[in-house]
Amino acid sequence: MNTLLQLFRDKTLIIVAHRLQFIKDMDQILLVKDGEIIDEGDFNHLIRNSEYFQALWNQEIRHSSRA
């Protein structure tokens, strides 16, 4: 992922991610639920302010700890 980010540095890159760990370092994240953007910001903003994002993150952490 870092190689990809270096390749597109200073460019707009749209990434669709189901694993939140892949988007932790993105400048801007659009949070989509049921086809609508419900929040936006960087990872820290969303983890502090979005209950939906927090729930997704907690679910991913629980899932990855089982693997």
Domain boundaries, the chain: 2-66
Report the pLDDT value the prediction gives residue 10, as an integer from 0 to 100: 85
Report the pLDDT value the prediction gives residue 67, as an integer from 0 to 100: 61
Q: Per-residue pLDDT tens, the chain, 67 aa: give them.
A: 678 778 888 888 888 888 898 899 899 999 999 999 999 999 999 999 999 999 999 999 888 877 6
The pTM of the full predicted model, rounded to 2 decimals, is: 0.79
Alpha-carbon distance of 43 to 35, in angstroms, equals 20
**Cβ neighbours around 31 below 10 Å, total:** 15
CB distance 43 to 26 below 8 Å = yes
